Amino acid sequence: MELVSVDIGGTHARFSIATVHDDGSITLDEPETIHTQDHASFQTAWEDYRARKGGTLPSRISMAIAGPVGGDVIRFTNNPWIIRPALVKEKLGVDSYCIVNDFEAVAHAVARVDNDQFLHLSGPDIPLAPTGRLTVLGPGTGLGVAHLYREPDGSYRVSATEGGHVDFAPLDQIDDALLARLRKRHNRVSVERVVSGPAIVDIYQTLAALEGKAVKEEDDIAIWTRGQDGSDSLAAAAVDRFCMSLGSAAGDYALSQGGFGGVVIAGGLGYRIRNTLVRSGFAERFKAKGRFQELMASIPVKLITHPQPGLFGAAAAYAREHP
């Protein structure tokens, strides 16, 4: 069975032809990436992709969407597109479709990929638990969160959440200063304002202000680049601070979801900073949960290394919905 698998975030929409084989395995062809800002709607992006593929596409589609997926109108969290599920077949010319939250799709991928597609980050260096609950999260344009429950019979259940929008909890004076900066623009500061790709700008500016340094306004990509290549010690400190905040958030989600079977970090940003994550304060912040420190230290934390977990997971979600 072939279908179009789509992973739509705030900045990019990724498309691939997925094949679900008779044994249930899933393969993807070479993905195509389209910038969301280059298209007025998902339909025009779909038409662009169809043209790139020679004018014809499979009659099935599975979409992983960054935002809540219920209701008559689906609105993206960090993207002006909207999708009306009732019109999907008509507008796209498909016979069937599946729509899931983007991190719901990632959790499907976590459930399906092999153990060799996980990189160990912290905690005991053991595989993710074969049964019980796992927490899945990842920073990108926003912060996605989901959880996965593995049944003893090998089946699993996935639940999407909007956990990235819970309140940010500062833990030290630098966090306090970052919160104060963000409060000037946002009455309520969510974790996503601190743990996402664009957040590095506010972290960097906060550290500069604490040191009394005047720094120019620039985009997040420039700061991430200098923070990773060693050319700017202040940017490197901002990256380390980001890793600490990601560790705090990951630990909070594990506690609140009961993700004691393991925590998985996903997304391209997490993969790009994987070496920094291991050396940073991520692990200490993850387990710094007071009376539960011993419990937190027993949780394996992994990074999924599959190159396209959103696309793979969207295809897996379709296969479960349309066996």
User: Each residue of 220-253: pLDDT tens digit?
Assistant: 999 999 999 989 999 999 999 999 999 999 999 9
So what's the pLDDT on residue 268? 84
Average pLDDT for 259-271: 93
| Feature table: binding site for ATP | 6-11
Secondary structure class of 6 (helix, strand, coil): strand
Question: pLDDT per residue over 68-90, tens digit each?
Answer: 888 899 987 778 899 999 999 99
User: What dihedral do alpha carbons 57, 158, 109, 320 form, nearest 10°?
Assistant: -40
pTM: 0.90
Statement: residue 183 has pLDDT above 80: yes
Q: How is residue 275 written in tokens?
A: 């070496």
List, for residues 186-225, the tens digit of each pLDDT value: 999 999 999 999 999 999 999 999 999 988 889 999 999 9
Give the DSSP H or E segment for 274. Answer: helix 274-279
Q: Which residue has the tokens 């499907």?
A: 108
Yes or no: say if 177 and 137 are a contact pair by the CB < 8 Å rule.
no
- Domain definitions of the chain by residue range: 2-108+307-321, 163-304
Check whether domain 2-108+307-321 has CATH 3.30.420.40, yes or no:
yes
- How far apart are alpha carbons 181 and 81 in whole angstroms? 30
Task: Please determine whether the domains at 2-108+307-321 and 163-304 fall in the same fold group of CATH.
Answer: no
Whether residue 104 is predicted with pLDDT greater than 90 in this model: the reply is yes
Distance (Å) of CA 70 to CA 86, 98, 158, 177: 12, 12, 15, 37
Other Cβ atoms closer than 10 A to 28: 18
Q: In the CATH hierarchy, which fold is given to the domain comprising 163-304?
A: Hexokinase; domain 1 (3.40.367)
The annotation places the binding site at 6-11
pLDDT of residue 10 exceeding 90, the answer is no
